[in-house]
A and B are shown apart, each in its own frame.
Chain A
Amino acid sequence: MTIEEIQNEIIDEFAMFEDWEERYQYMIDLGKTLPLIDEQFKTEDHIIKGCQSKVWVHADMDNEKVNFTADSDAVITKGIIAILIRVFSNQHPKDIIEANTDFIDKIGLKEHLSPTRANGLVSMIKQLKLYAIAYQTQLN
């Protein structure tokens, strides 16, 4: 699936919910499906700065596709990073770099997009794209 297809799939899933409670509950549940980062990578240099909770992300590339693993000590943050990783994992670095992230607004999580928001969703997207840029450089 392309990044856009995955995003549309997520938009459809969230459209089933009527209120914030169900959306947040689903996001928390999605956090439980997150491909967890190997404990050895839970180090200072894998932490995404700008989050009130801790978020660690690790990336590797296989067959020109980037794969992400992550973890967080807060469950809502874990749900958010899980959604992002579902969108960006197993994709070509160039597609990750060029992807837009408007779907966040469409699943009712717009409030998390504010740059001042303590969970740092903006920082997370930036970090995932930075990994992609680094791998794209290797491919060039």
Chain B
Amino acid sequence: MMSVAEKHMMLDVESIRKDFPILNRKVNGKPLVYFDNAATSQTPQQVIDVIVDYYSNYNANIHRGVHRLSQEATDAYEQSRLKIQQHFNAKHPYEIIFTSGTTHGINLVASGFSSLLKKGDEIIVSALEHHSNIVPWQMLCERTGATLKVLPMNENGELILSEFDSLLNDNTKLVFVNHISNALGTINPIESIIEKAHEVGAAVLVDGAQSCPHIKPDLQGLNVDFYVCSAHKICGPTGVGMLYGKEEWLNKLPPYQGGGEMIAEVTFDKTTYADLPHKFEAGTPNICGGIAFGAALDYMNSIGFDAITQYENELLEYGTNELLKIEGLKIYGTAKEKTSVISFNVGNIHPYDIGTILDKMGIAVRTGHHCAQPIMDFYQIPGTIRASFMFYNTKEEIDTFISALKKAVLMLS
């Protein structure tokens, strides 16, 4: 007999799949097997309905509008901010800044730190980062004269935490690390990183783009200074995301862009800026996207992150075991703590060749360097094939993928 707790954790994948219309389509005459979730997740009907409802019934510009539609749109948008605050457990709703996505959030913080850093200051990046969490900081170093240091990784794709202590010192001002590596799936020990960084007074930015669909973080519990993520990774639409910053940090940073929405008073002599969060939300935002972001969180929470994690771990274990049965297949990223992402190569076959043949059989994977060239350089490979699973994928799909992969290998050997 299953306990009540176990029953609660069960995930009914068959009924969940009915929520995602795209999973019914065919690609090249074959049923779609969508394993490119780490690039973007699919959108359930519940979220699509919210998007359609917005444009059908209350599309209007938000804030300051006195008419009914504007008030409805403003209410829905601000309601969504509250949902995001509650989901991520931020202390205040105004600590949630709507952005166009993770990259926007990182650039906003990097730009803000231009006025806070000086020559001799140091900032630390992890070796596991996406280019979007490297390049803005390199640009920040160019502007300020600060130095960029790298927290190295080991062969398994895990950060070498013991090296972190020797990188930290009184000059360290900022540390940025992803919660989960997009290229390898490693779950990074952000709790220890945040704690150690705070000991020397450095702020920490966590890139949650890859973790938000798998792990519900407790931002106050983590005591993290900044956290960024994108809605499209968590069953929401593209072009919208959020930046969380602790109130005291957001107050220290100057505005990122000037424009409407972000001002308190404007004269040609002087402009005073609006309070948080509007100080960072210049211009008309992605209103519909912001509202749909909240709907996506509702959807994810209706399934439950415990059930999601448990089920995705099953898929990861099954997929890993099945893949390793293929001769010559090597998995990159074998961290003890990882999420449902498998990055691999087969013998000397180019990942692009395998990806192309898999596409002919209706299977969507990602191939290439995954915007993480330093990781590929570490392993001295041009790229990998990356299969990434979400809670709506199945073991049967993994079987289809494995047999297609075997066929591709046969054709390409």
Residues of B within 8 A of A74 (CB): 350, 352-353
Most chain-A CB neighbours within 10 Å: which of B356, B367, B383?
Answer: B356
B326 interface contact, C-beta 8 A: no
Residues of A within 8 A of B353 (CB): 53, 74-77
Task: List residues 361-413 of chain B with CB under 8 A from any CB of chain A.
Answer: 367-368, 382-383, 411-412
If A24-B411, A75-B353 touch, whether A118 touches B28 (CB-CB below 8 Å) is no
- Complex interface bits, B28-56 against A, C-beta within 8 A gives 1, otherwise 0: 10000000000000000000000000000
- Measured CA separation A117–B160 after assembly (Å): 37
Interface residues, chain B, CB within 8 Å of chain A? 28, 349-350, 352-353, 356-357, 360, 367-368, 382-383, 411-412
CB distance from B315 to the nearest CB of A (A): 26
Task: Check if B352 sits within 8 Å of A76, measured CB to CB.
Answer: yes
CB distance from A81 to the nearest CB of B (A): 13
Task: Check if B356 sits within 8 Å of A119, measured CB to CB.
Answer: yes
Residues of B within 8 A of A75 (CB): 349-350, 353, 412
- Measured CA separation A86–B352 after assembly (Å): 23
Most chain-B CB neighbours within 10 Å: which of A20, A54, A73, A74?
Answer: A74
CB distance from B268 to the nearest CB of A (A): 45
Task: Check if B412 sits within 8 Å of A118, measured CB to CB.
Answer: no
CB distance from B284 to the nearest CB of A (A): 28
Which A-chain residue is minimally distant from B357 (CB atoms)? A24
A21 interface contact, C-beta 8 A: yes
Total contacts A-B at CB 8 Å:
41
- A selection of 10 A-B contacts at a CB cut-off of 8 Å is A20-B360, A52-B368, A53-B352, A75-B353, A75-B412, A76-B353, A76-B356, A118-B352, A119-B352, A119-B356
A28 interface contact, C-beta 8 A: yes
Residues of B within 8 A of A100 (CB): none
Residues of A within 8 A of B360 (CB): 20-21, 24
Of the four ranges (under 10, 10 to 19, 20 to 34, 35 or more), the interface on chain A belongs to: 10 to 19
- Measured CA separation A54–B351 after assembly (Å): 12
- Measured CA separation A119–B356 after assembly (Å): 10
Which B-chain residue is minimally distant from A53 (CB atoms)? B352
Task: List residues 86-106 of chain A with CB under 8 A from any CB of chain B.
Answer: none
Which B-chain residue is minimally distant from A54 (CB atoms)? B382
A25 interface contact, C-beta 8 A: yes
Most chain-A CB neighbours within 10 Å: which of B28, B349, B360?
Answer: B360
Which A-chain residue is minimally distant from B356 (CB atoms)? A76
- Measured CA separation A25–B360 after assembly (Å): 13
Beyond contacts A20-B28, A118-B367, A119-B356: 4 other A-B pairs, Cβ-Cβ < 8 A, are A24-B356, A75-B349, A76-B353, A77-B353
CB distance from A68 to the nearest CB of B (A): 21
